[in-house]
Structure 1
Amino acid sequence: MRVDGNPSTDPKIDRYDETEVLIVGSGPIGAVFARSLVDKGKEVLMIDIGEQRVGDHKKNSMAVQKDISLFTNTVKGELNLLSVPTSNVEAVLEPSSWAPRTEQQAFIKNGQNPDQKPILNLPAACATRVVGGMGSHWTCCIPREHANIERSNLFNDEEWDLLYTKAEKLLNRNDTAFDDSIRQQLVKETLKKAYEGREMRSMPLACERSKLNQNYVEWSCAATVLGDLSEPDYKSPLFKIRPNTQCLGLALGPDKKIKMAVTRNILTGEMQYIKAKKYVICAGAILTPGILFNSTFGDHSLADELPSALGCYMTEQPMAFCQVVLNRSLVDSVKDDPYHLGWAKKVKQHEQKYKNDPLPFPFNDPDPQCYFPLSEKYPWHTQIHRDAFGYGQVPPNVDQRLIVDLRWFTYMEQKQSNYVEFSSTYRDQFGMPQPTFHFTLDEGALTRCEGMISDMVDVARKLGGFLPGAEPKYLAPGSALHICGTYRAGEEEKDSVVDRSGKVWGYDNLVLGGCGVIPTGNACNPTLTAACFALAAVDKMVQELEA
């Protein structure tokens, strides 16, 4: 497609719009950009490939909060695998069934990728293409990165603290939402006693208890950050969100400024140009570089002039997982209130109301949400909670109140040789270049993995027995859904893609946001840190727009 000098008169284009800031992606980080820019009086147009629906969190469903196991299928339904090797298909077909012959290419639909080597893949890496992005089903755990192990030095301690504080306010950080839970207290006290000297905390969560009914939790999401901007009847000249709109790429002018975004309505096929003063791409750690690699429009191809680090230095989090059924002795001790935390009264009230229930936990007792923070001695982030995901299944005949999930994450080093490339031959299901992963763990990460799973098993044994089918295991690479570094921030172009304000080296009006900006290996959930980079980017953008 050619982009001429006056797109508003180009007969191939169905629509032409102008705005001050264009944001591609409506997840939590896109929402941070939008909310912060609108609050500073800037006009924002946000587009997303997802359907027209407010970006709420699926765990805010009352049905899911009654039975968290329902959340598993919700998540599975919104995750699209990014790269599926076709060289190791194990399905045994009838001889008469169609299958590719030796001389024929393998399947190429829905992420199936003949170029993907299984040994170098991130087989569980996925993208979410809905309004609200990953924020529609994320864990909402928002720890700060460890200053000496995870956090970059692009900001000093004072700057980091200010950015983290602002980001936590936007995301509604809450460290006490589950602290009245008997099971929260039981798990925390049991592990404090077992691991004296090791810090045990309530998880820092992006949530708040419902003001209408304290039995329910309002989990933070893109709609939370957007606030009134997400209301269907909200009318403002400063903010619009356009769903079902795919960004195909960016057109570069001869002055090395982005001239416009080329987009398409995926329902109608309508082609649209959007011209802005600033372009913010925050479509995820893989889809964002995919948009840039597809930016071959016009006489000046952006894809040919991008920093060489784009797609490189990719990191993920090795992850171990198990589920336990609480130990009988721990459960039976609850009625005796051994820690004098007021359990006896709650148990008595529950027993009087539900005489046939064999468990002492009230039906509205919140799930545990606690963790051991990453430390020098234990270099892994932990989550001890109930947050059933695609890999967590609980049989319907086991009471959910007895189940505790344990998820352990560690970090890896950033290596240029860990990268994602984009095919000029194959396309994904949305017509964009097919990503192919080249990924291996470093020796340090492999060593940490051994210690991590041993630690998880030891902690699990303090709480109960393993749920059949959910015994300790490593999860497939990519399962954490925390890919970082693919357009990393840095101090110079030779080993980074953007500066600390998210601006792509050499392009004054192009900003990237999301976990792909994070330049260091990290074990903890990265969303809060990505929000910090977004806030720093907003400050710089506003300064330049008002200059």
Structure 2
Amino acid sequence: MRILDLPNQTTDTQADVVIVGSGPIGVSCAIRFARKGLSVAVLEQGEAVTEPPGFHLRNKPKFQQDPDAFFGAVDPFLQPIMALDQDAVLPGIADTAAIGGQGVLWTNNCPRASVFERFDALSDAQWNDYYSEAETALQVTIDAATGSRVGANIKERLLPGLREEGRTLQSLPFSGHRAGGGGLHFAGTADLLTAVDREVLERIRIYAPALAQKLLTKNGKVTGVAVRTGDASDRVLSAGIILIAGGALGTPRLLHKSGIRPDALGRGFSFHALHFAQLVLSPELASTPARDDVPPRYWVAPTENAPWHIQVLRDTCPLPVVEEVDNPNRLLEFQAFLPVEFNEGNSLSFHDDGNVSVTYSYSKDDRKQMQRLEEDIRHLGEKLGPWRKGGEPVWVPAGTSHLVGTCRMDCEGASGVTDRNAKVHGFDNLYLAGAGLIPAPVAVNPTLTALALAFRACDHALQSS
């Protein structure tokens, strides 16, 4: 990944495309444009937090050996937002500024949204095609835990009961690949760029630190992006296509600072309420300590009757567990994601200093579904072993909350910030990309769905330019 300073000049810097945000979605879009022969400038306000830049922090040896230390390690790179209503129950909503975006910190889990959850932005065939392209771009391994003996035992124990309920337990798609010793290599934006041909790579320039301060507009077009560089000097980048991939907070913040403030901006969002637990597998389910094994990675896909997503895996544990376990192969987590209702009362407020605050409350139906999910986790857990002390099931207020809909696209029955091609209303060349576009509750991790929509935006921009 080549990190450049913006040219020290008073005249505009030109590119065919300017992309704000160097995360997996922004970089994947940059590659897509570059493969069509366009020059692309990617702006990133943060600096490198890994070496090489854009490398996933989780790949450090200490986190391979002690995955539970990862949550504490990423805290310094997360900037939480404020609550306007201190009595509101808030998720762990936070922003990130770093080369590689949240792609150097994310969990890398990339399941597809279930058919019943897919909204009307794409046809069924388009959803499948764009999902396939997004999986290729993110280097998704469909079954990263092949050969896990513990996993096979867990599946044998859980699958019959799930099938009776019309559900299934399947491998959890993962952005990355198996590494030596049964571990995992987490793909970051550096990996995505490394896989690109040199001819394509040379059309992409990544500038950092380069803060996009404002979009300059005239007569329904974005004429340039005002940028503040690391030496506190100002530049302007202009391009025929502008794509904002600054995250679910950064993207609407930039629109607001630029005076682009449609009614839907920051309103009606959803997120995942996260229910977490860690248990100690019954001895007959676990490998012995002396035998290397691949950690299990499964998920229970949502259904219309059980509209939540459960990951059954050994990954990381943010809870303050107090019980020592001699055999690490006996540890297993449940990470359950409940998509809460879209509600126009859930809103972001943007302040002149660039800060964002949130107002939020759960609906009655959210509370009902939370109770049902709690029962589901208890029912599944009792089949596998006792909860680890300190790891009993709990709703987690901090961590990844998968905020969506903060700059939503149009969908049936609701107008948004963009049309179904992710083009901002009232502008010919301004597109958005990221989870903030998703206009409906989706139970799965949103990255793959967000990239599918982003690729649709890229294709429409190419056709229209």
Q: Is the alpha carbon distance of 1:158 and 1:190 closer, same or farther for their aligned partners in structure 2, counting shifts above 3 Å? A: same
CA distance in 2, matches of 1:142, 1:28: 12
In structure 1, the partner of 2:67 is: 68
Alignment correspondent of 1:402: 330
> Would the aligned equivalents of 2:42 and 2:207 in 1 still touch at CA under 8 Å?
yes
CA–CA separation in structure 2 for the residues paired with 1:316 and 1:434? 20
> Measured at CA, do residues 195 and 314 of structure 1 come closer, stay the same or move farther in structure 2, by a change above 3 Å?
closer
Distance 1:409 1:392 in 2: 20
C-alpha separation in 2, matches of 1:286 and 1:474: 23
* Shift of residue 15, structure 1, vs aligned partner: 6.6
Deviation at 1:226, TM superposition (A): 2.5
- Give the whole-Å Cα distance in 2 for the aligned partners of 1:282 and 1:184: 36
1:62 CA drift (Å): 3.0
- Per the alignment, do residues 55 and 15 of structure 1 end up closer, same or farther by CA in structure 2, a change over 3 Å counting? farther
- Counterpart code for 1:471: E
SS in structure 2 opposite 1:313? coil
Query: Larger Rg: 1 or 2?
Result: 1
How far apart are the structure 1 equivalents of 2:79 and 2:338? 24
| Structure 1 counterpart SS, 2:377 | helix
- Ranges in structure 1 where 5+ consecutive residues have no aligned partner: 1-10, 86-115, 296-302, 335-358, 428-432
Distance 1:183 1:492 in 2: 44
The number of aligned residues is 453
Task: State the distance in 2 between where 1:391 and 1:166 align.
Answer: 36
**Alpha-carbon separation, structure 1, partners of 2:190 and 2:322:** 30
Q: Among residues 21, 33, 36, which one is paired with 2:32 in the alignment?
A: 36
The residue type equivalent to 1:62 in the other structure is P
2:217 paired with 1:221: no
Alignment partners' CA distance in 2, 1:215 and 1:419? 43
1:283 and 2:246 correspond: yes
2:345 matched to which residue of 1?
A: 417
> For residues 109 and 201 of structure 2, what CA distance do their matches in structure 1 show?
32
Shift of 1:63: 3.0
- Counterpart residue type for residue 260 of structure 1: G
CA 1:397/1:523 → structure 2, altered by over 3 Å: closer, same or farther?
A: same
Residue 438 of structure 2 is aligned with which of 503, 514, 518? 518
Task: Tell me how far 1:54 sits from its aligned partner.
Answer: 2.2
**Unaligned 5+ residue runs, structure 2?**
1-7
Deviation at 1:403, TM superposition (A): 1.1
Is the aligned partner of 1:315 residue 2:311? no
> Aligned residue for 2:280?
325
When residues 417 and 154 of structure 1 are mapped into structure 2, their CA distance, relative to the original with a 3 A threshold, is same
1:466 pairs with 2:417: no
Q: Residue deviations 1:318-339, cap 9 Å, x none? A: 12111101123434xx6xxxxx
Match of 2:173 in 1: 204
Aligned ranges for residues 265-280 of structure 1 at < 5 Å?
A: 265=229, 267-280=230-243
User: Counterparts of 1:402 and 1:408 in 2: how far apart (Å)?
Assistant: 19
Aligned to 1:445: 366
Decide whether the 8 Å contact of 1:492 with 1:499 is kept in 2. no
Pairwise mapping of residues 234-245 of structure 1 onto structure 2 (< 5 A)? 237-245=202-210
Matched, 1:261 2:234: no
Superposed displacement of residue 402, structure 1: 1.9
The 5-angstrom pairing of residues 135-534 of structure 1 reads 135-148=103-116, 150-197=117-164, 198-210=167-179, 213=180, 215-228=182-195, 237-253=202-218, 255-265=219-229, 267-295=230-258, 303=259, 305-331=260-286, 359-360=288-289, 362=291, 364-388=292-316, 390-391=318-319, 399-424=327-352, 427=353, 433-476=354-397, 479-490=399-410, 495-534=415-454
Q: TM-score, normalised by structure 1?
A: 0.78
Q: Which AA in structure 2 matches 1:122?
A: L
CA contact (8 A) 1:69 1:388 kept: yes
Q: CA deviation at 1:251?
A: 1.5
**Residue 7 (structure 1) aligns with:** none
In the TM superposition, residue 162 of structure 1 has moved relative to its aligned partner by: 0.8
Q: CA 1:494/1:397 → structure 2, altered by over 3 Å: closer, same or farther? A: closer
Evaluate the alpha carbon distance shift between residue 235 and residue 28 of structure 1 in structure 2; reply closer, same or farther with a 3 A threshold.
closer
Quick one: which amino acid aligns to residue 539 of structure 1? D
What is the Cα-based RMSD across aligned positions, in Å? 2.4
Identity among equivalent positions (%) equals 28
Distance in structure 2 (CA, Å) of the matches to 1:499 and 1:417: 22
- Judged with a 3 Å threshold, the aligned counterparts in structure 2 of structure 1 residues 396 and 63 are, in CA distance, closer, same or farther, namely farther
Q: For residues 183-231 of structure 1, give each alpha carbon's deviation from its aligned partner in whole angstroms, at most 9, with x where no partner exists.
A: 1112111212454433111112222224xx4634222222233335699
Check 1:230–1:454 CA distance in 2 against 1; reply closer, same or farther (3 A cut). Answer: farther
Distance in 2 separating the partners of 1:135 and 1:491: 28
Tell me, yes or no, if structure 1 residue 131 matches structure 2 residue 99.
yes
